[in-house]
Structure 1
Amino acid sequence: MSKILNNILFENVSHSNEDFTKHYHDTYTIGLTYKGFLKTFNVNQSYYSYEYSIRINNPGEVHCGKAKEWSHANFYPTIEIISNIYEQIFHEKKIPYFQRHIVDNKMLFLKIHNFFDSYFKNEDEILVEAYLIEALSSLILDSTLYTKNYKEIFEDKKIIKQTYEFINDSIETNFTLEMLAKNVNLSKFHFLRLFKKDFGLTPHAFIVNERLNRANCLIQNGLSISEASIQVGFNDQSHFTRNFRKYFGYTPSTLQKNSNFIL
């Protein structure tokens, strides 16, 4: 399989009826709806993802949703992958941000589907990578709303970025509000107010999100569920499993059995 897809999560889920709590990813999310629908809330706006629509989340966008008999495939390309393809097209290193959360474009849908199909069938690397480049370059050319200079995630949101780095440097810590506020030289009141205004999540939800993203990666890379949950700061296994399912729509045991999986 292509090296550029190492450690990239793929999902192919059938007949989901899950409710997804507010969360975000530090990657893009690019997904196809095959059957059913998802009522989704992205950056506080409501959308419906029906059959043959494309769903896109830019890095850091807070979203949630309610699924109804939802069959879909997703993958989570990194900022680096998307910006590299943008650079190959336009010869400058930029991060594209996409125009719409839900895109209705049958030709683009087919291109992304061809990429997913070749990936899940484990076809030759040259074919998978060709489909990937064709799909992502079409997405960039058709749906880019604006671009930013290539920077790390949350670079334009100082409080969020400093908190993100602080949490990820010691993910297993039992953080207090005082610790988080002190890290950015604010009172607890001002930290809470500015954090939620700038990001749309409470600090607690932000910490849980970061822990679950880290645990997801650890499980994909072979760590046991109990080891991964403890390593990221969950001491209660059932609490970890409940939160994991609320964020990702499947249990950690499903991920462990089917890393880069088809359900």
Structure 2
Amino acid sequence: MTKLLKNTLFENVTHINESFSKHYHDTYTVGLTYDGVLKTYNSNKSFDFYKYSIRVNNPNEVHEGISQHWSHSNFYPTIELLSNLYEQIFFEKKIPFFENHIINDKVLFFKLHNFFDSFFKNEDEILIETLLIDSLSYLILHFTNYTKNYNDIFDNKIIVKRSLELINDCIDENISLDKLALNCNLSKYHFLRVFKKEIGLTPHSFIINERLNRANNLIKEGITISEASLLVGFNDQSHFTRNFKKYFGYTPTLLQKNSNIIL
């Protein structure tokens, strides 16, 4: 496995019919549809991810969707990977963001297709890296709409900043609404309104999603499912498994079985 793709999740799935609840990833999502359709919702807008189109989600972007006979290849490149490529192209450390969630570009489609094909066939590392850099560089050069400073993923508003810091420090604990509101010197009512407006999720949904993202990474690193669920604050493994499947569309057992490739 090339170092550029260490712990990067790949999906290569055919003809699935699934619903995906509101969630986000701490990585980008870049994928191709080969058949069927995924109706996805980003920022309260609906998009159809149909045959021969390209889908891009930015890090921490809340989305949900419903798939119908959907055959696709996805991967989840890290913020570090995209920001490093951006720096190599423009000589400044920035995080590129893409407003076009569905892209129709034959050149980009075949660049990504060739990259996926080389990866799933386990071709030589130098070929995989070359095709990866070629496709992501094309994406950055042609479709970046704006950038953010590195380490500034969410808007730098004090209430959100304080909340994210507290959640990060206490992710394996039972974090109460009282504690979150008090941390920002707000009433629970006003805290809930501000948090939902800025993040797009309720505090509870955000915490669950953050725990699941961390567990996802731990399992990919070889930690057992039961240990990963406990480390991120799930005391009931069946509850953890239900939420995992609800958010990601696959079970933690499938992730563990297939390492970083979901088939």
* TM bucket, shorter chain: over 0.9
* Conservation of the 8 A alpha-carbon contact between 2:33 and 2:50: yes
Paired residues of 1:38 and 1:48 also in contact (CA < 8 A) = yes
Q: Which residue of 1 aligns with 2:89?
A: 89
Contact 2:254 2:262 survives alignment (8 Å): no
CA contact (8 A) 1:17 1:67 kept: yes
Residue type of the alignment partner of 1:148? K
Counterpart residue identity of residue 63, structure 2: H
Task: Provide the C-alpha distance between the structure 1 equivalents of 2:26 and 2:158, rounded to a whole number of angstroms.
Answer: 16
Q: Map of 1:1-263 to 2, 5 A cutoff?
A: 1-263=1-263
- Does the 8 A contact of 1:26 with 1:153 survive in 2? no
Offset of residue 155 of structure 1: 4.9
Alpha carbons of structure 1 residues 76 and 157: separation in structure 2 relative to 1, 3 Å: farther
Structure 1 ranges of 4+ moved more than 6 A: none
Distance of 1:75 and 1:135 partners within structure 2: 13
Q: How far off is 1:33 after superposition?
A: 0.9
Could you tell me which runs of 5 or more consecutive residues in structure 2 were left unpaired when the two chains were aligned.
none
The count of corresponding residues between Structure 1 and Structure 2 is 263
Q: 1:205 to 1:118 in 2, by over 3 A?
A: same
Note if contact 1:153-1:161 (Cα within 8 Å) is conserved in structure 2: no
C-alpha contact (below 8 Å) 2:17/2:69 kept by paired residues: yes
Deviations 1:65-92 (A, max 9, x none): 0011111111111111111111111112
Question: Residue 218 of structure 1 aligns to a residue in which SS?
Answer: helix
SS state of the match for residue 52, structure 1?
Answer: coil
Q: How far 1:170 moved relative to its partner?
A: 2.3
Give, in whole Å, the separation in 2 of the partners of 1:226 and 1:124: 35
Q: Distance in 2 between matches of 1:182 and 1:118?
A: 51
**Separation of aligned partners in 1, 2:78 and 2:160:** 19
In structure 1, C-alpha distance between the alignment counterparts of 2:157 and 2:43, rounded to whole Å? 16
SS where residue 40 of structure 1 aligns?
strand
Using the alignment, how far apart are the partners of 1:63 and 1:157 within structure 2?
Answer: 22
Q: Supply the distance in 1 between the matched residues of 2:157 and 2:65 (Cα, whole angstroms).
A: 25
- The Cα offsets for residues 39-67 of structure 1, whole Å up to 9 and x where unpaired, read as 00011100000011111011121100001
**TM-score scaled by length of structure 2:** 0.96
Secondary structure, counterpart of 1:108 in structure 2: helix
Q: Distance in 2 between the 1:204 and 1:165 partners?
A: 15
Tell me the alpha carbon deviations over residues 177-233 of structure 1, each in whole angstroms, 9 at most, x when there is no partner.
011112222221111010001111000000100010011111111112111112211
Give percent identity, aligned residues only: 68
Distance 2:217 2:146 in 1: 30
Shift of the alpha carbon at 1:38? 0.3
Q: What TM-score do you get using the length of structure 1 for normalisation? A: 0.96
Counterpart Cα distance in 1 of 2:111 and 2:252: 30
| Deviation of 1:262 (Å) | 4.2
Shift of 1:111: 0.5
Q: Which runs of 5+ in 1 are unaligned?
A: none
Amino acid at match of 2:10: F
